[in-house]
Amino acid sequence: MEQMMRNFFLFLAKNKAVTKMAKKYGLRFGAARFVAGAELDGAVQVIQNLNHLGFKVTIDHLGEFVDSEAEAKEMANSCIEAVKAIAEYDLDSQLSLKLTSMGMDISDELVLNNMRRILTIANDMGVFITIDMEDSARCGHSIDLFTELKKEFDNIGTVIQAYLYRSDEDLDYLDPLAPNLRLVKGAYKEPDSVAYPNKEDVDENYKALIKKHLLNGHYTAIATHDDAIIDYTKELVQQYNIPNNQFEFQMLYGIRTERQKEIVQEGYKMRVYVPYGSDWYGYFMRRLAERPANVSFVLKGVLKK
């Protein structure tokens, strides 16, 4: 049943017609728990509150299914606006973005021009940019684009997904760049031909990737809500005397907030992934697919008077 629900929500996440309808009718049915409003001003307030509690943040202006050059440029402009807000309000925040929202599915020239605009301004303002990883069909292309941009900019990182078979080789390929990487399990529906179908195998590969990247000496963001992975990381860094400034934990806004506080109180860096924007639907569906508890929360919110 859990896998059926996951597949259902992942199917909805890719439905363009429903995405447009959701964007039109706003943040309803519990999405506000996971999304910091439709506008940047609301997100800034959320980040300020999180910073006050000791959390670092990465902000994400949500956007999927960009079909035109004009839309891609508009998304890039929104990212630049977010970068400027981080600098203006002195927020302890980075920026995360998707290459598809920058025009990757349209042309390399478009996505690279948009990324260079963002990275140049972000570099001037001391803001770090992370390229979020998308589905497996775009993984190789995303890594190629990241590699090209990394030659020009230091303020850029990307994401490696543990459920893909290729990820260990991707770490080896990226190693000479000394990359700052966010390591995740992965949240897209993928065929067994490219991804581990069993959670146990994903978890073991995740641990192997964490160990390899940390022992390679590179900055590692461990993005997980799984206590077993968190505990594994703590034991690993203690065993190999890895300093706290070489890694951080990351969690999503609105999920396991008390656990996030505990990690900060234990003296570790904790970064909260804070999305905002009217194009929230695909992100919201993937959060529902990840954990049945999220579905339960939303249903209670809808039915509550």
Computed over its alpha carbons, how large is the radius of gyration of the chain?
A: 18
- As a whole number of angstroms, the distance between CA 121 and CA 181 comes to 21
Task: Tell me whether residue 144 is one of the annotated catalytic residues.
Answer: no
The amino acid at 220: T
Q: Which residue reads 């968190």 in tokens?
A: 230
Residue 123 burial (10 A CB sphere; 0-12, 13-18, 19+): middle
- Catalytic choice (132, 135, 203, 279): 132
- As a whole number of angstroms, the distance between CA 163 and CA 222 comes to 14
- Across 176-214, b (16+ Cβ under 10 Å) vs e yields ebebbbbbbbbbbbbeeeebbeeeeebbebbbebbbbbb
Residue 168 burial (10 A CB sphere; 0-12, 13-18, 19+): middle
Three-state DSSP at 192 gives coil
The strand pairing partners of 222, in sequence order, are 183, 249
Tokens coding 241: 């005397």
Tokens coding 59: 């902000």
The strand pairing partners of 184, in sequence order, are 161
- As a whole number of angstroms, the distance between CA 45 and CA 189 comes to 33
- As a whole number of angstroms, the distance between CA 129 and CA 265 comes to 26
Task: Tell me whether residue 168 is one of the annotated catalytic residues.
Answer: no
- Catalytic choice (6, 60, 135, 182): 182
Q: Hey, which residues are catalytic here?
A: 132, 182
